[in-house]
């Protein structure tokens, strides 16, 4: 059966988009095994760069800082954002519309504006820049994303389920933990994964609020670009990609089991 011109055009367009998105990732994966330091010429296959990666203390320290920061940000932002989303969905109060509008501000304003404003705030409060200023900044810009994702999950929530649980003797806290939270769980997980991703690859805001002893991996790579990125970074990026794919796979399996 021959495809129509429109269908063939759609297939070509979709193939081009996927190729544009995933070809650079495939090249990065391939050149992590390149014997040459240059990412322009293939000279042979080697695992040396993975070995050198685990002996590069500066890169490993930056990676450790990024992962620790992302975990702290994910836990704090997910908890605060989930509770805020449930409260804004459940309760009606004066100024709610204005508050909901303010929630979207960190999402739409340029990151450089938020980074400068955070730096100005910490300077006024005389807070030394370091890991915890990074964490505060990342948590601040991540909370709105969690709220938006969880609110979308709450859009089809049936409040009568909560009422039935409380009629059977459950306290409000028990109702939230045993009824509400499992139902909105996929939205909470999605918000947590989005927060982790946003935190671990942020450059602009981190540039303004990071201290000399709290360099994240994106900032480290950004500084290395001036002198040329070695295949060690390709190897590290490949490992991060594999870990991310494993997390996504496990999350999908858990969601399928819960359906």
At 73 the pLDDT is 94
pLDDT digits (tens, 9 = 90+) for 51-80: 888 888 888 888 889 889 999 999 999 999
Closest by CA position to 143, among listed 89, 87, 74 = 74
Tell me what the pLDDT averaged over the chain comes to: 83
Mean per-residue pLDDT, 175-202: 85
At 229 the pLDDT is 67
Q: How many CB atoms lie within 10 A of CB 13?
A: 10
Task: Tell me the C-alpha distance between 118 and 208, whole Å.
Answer: 8
pLDDT band at 88 (very low <50, low <70, confident <90, very high): confident
Q: Please say whether the beta carbons of 50 and 234 come within 8 A.
A: no
Sorted by where each begins, the domain ranges of the chain are: 57-258
Would the pTM of this model clear 0.75, i.e. be above it? Answer: yes
User: What CATH number has the domain spanning 57-258?
Assistant: 1.10.3720.10
């Amino acid at each position: 059966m021959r495809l129509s011109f429109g269908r063939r055009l759609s297939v070509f367009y979709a193939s081009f988009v996927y190729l544009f998105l995933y070809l650079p990732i495939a090249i990065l994966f391939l050149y992590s095994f390149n014997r040459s330091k240059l990412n322009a010429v293939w000279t042979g296959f080697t695992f040396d760069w993975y070995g050198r990666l685990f002996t590069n203390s500066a890169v490993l320290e930056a990676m450790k800082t990024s992962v620790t920061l992302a975990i702290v940000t994910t836990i704090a932002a997910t908890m605060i954002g989930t509770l805020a989303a449930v409260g804004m969905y459940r309760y009606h109060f004066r100024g709610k519309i204005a508050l909901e509008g303010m929630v979207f501000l960190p999402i739409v304003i340029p990151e450089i504006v938020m980074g400068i404003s955070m730096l100005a705030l910490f300077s006024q409060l005389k807070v030394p820049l370091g890991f915890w200023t990074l964490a505060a900044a990342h948590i601040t810009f991540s909370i709105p994303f969690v709220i938006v994702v969880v609110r979308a999950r709450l859009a089809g929530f049936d409040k009568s389920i909560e009422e039935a649980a409380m009629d059977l003797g459950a306290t409000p806290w028990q109702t939230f933990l045993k009824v509400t939270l499992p139902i909105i769980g996929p939205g909470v997980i999605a918000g947590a994964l989005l927060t982790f991703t946003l935190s671990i690859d942020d450059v602009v805001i981190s540039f303004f609020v990071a201290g000399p002893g709290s360099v994240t991996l994106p900032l480290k790579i950004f500084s290395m670009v001036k002198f040329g990125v070695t295949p060690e970074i390709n190897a590290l990026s490949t490992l991060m990609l594999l870990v991310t794919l494993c997390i996504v796979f496990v999350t999908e399996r858990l969601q399928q089991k819960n359906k």
